Amino acid sequence: MTKRIQYSVNQSPFYRLNSKRKLAELLGFEMADFAKLVDDSNYHLFLNKQGREIQHPIKELDPVHSRIAKLLARLDLPGYLHSRKGRSYVSNAAAHKSDVPLIKTDISKFYPSTSFSSVFNLFRESFDCSPDVAWHLARLCCYKGIHLPTGSYLSGIIAFLAHRSMFDEIFELSRRAGCTMTCYVDDIVLSGSKATKKLLYEVRGIIARHGLAAKCEKSKTFPANKPKIVTGVVIRTDGLAVPNNRLKDARRVRDLIMKTSDLRERDRLRLSLKGKLQAAKQIHAFCLAKEE
């Protein structure tokens, strides 16, 4: 197996990029088509199950976003980040032990809160792009030139990089407290003997100082030796497990499949059940791999 190459920011093809023509060549489009490329029609809009609008790039914009995401994913990223290639929401939970306290929070509207100016500053300052290249990159990445889209491949990595100073500050706070910190997209978890309400308050304070907000309802503390749910995985004394509500939901969907006579609805339910079972298999497979 070929080892995946990772490089620092100053080795990235975006680093000190100062030509719009070279930018277009790098991302595989013609600069003359730029205005058409960033038109709103290149997004498919729909509501997810929670009623949030999803902006998904389509047509010619889709491969451009994919290319940007792949190039940025090659960066040498910190070990605490689990929303990247080779890691998962399962590895994110597995990084924490069951016999110590745990605190967690997540960031409210993480992608919509990552503004055009944040993305521009990322490419202008961190990658040292020329102002016009940084502007064109930010315009390509941002929905309507306002914020990161909620349904694009690139939003996760760009949101992390744009706010990396905040995540690094939380990591340093965690390190000083002797805790383990992980991050999965906007989900931040710290565990250790000093993972207390006071530490959670400090984490939320760092998030606020960086112009973002932590969700009150998702900011929680868990005592030692009690089951803890992290990114949809239960951490127990005997290992990782699927949350009971997910198991119940899978059984509910299975029962609906048996009862429905509508073929189209049955196919939809089967697809839903497949996804739920796949999530359970991923947790089980991760546990088996760790035992080998």
Tell me which amino acid residue 81 is.
L
What does pTM read for this prediction? 0.88
Angle, helices 61-73 vs 20-27, to 10°: value is 90
Which long-range contacts (C-beta less than 8 Å, at least 24 apart) are formed by 263-268?
none
Give the per-residue pLDDT at 44: 96
What's residue 4's pLDDT? Answer: 58
Mean pLDDT by 10 residues, the chain (292 residues): 72 97 97 96 92 95 97 96 93 94 97 98 98 98 97 97 98 98 97 97 98 95 93 88 68 72 74 68 62 48
pLDDT reported for residue 260 = 80
Give me the pLDDT at residue 2, please. 46
Domain boundaries, the chain: 9-229, 242-289
Between CA 26 and CA 24 the distance in angstroms is 5
User: What per-residue confidence (pLDDT) applies to 280?
Assistant: 67
95 vs 104: CA distance, rounded Å? 13
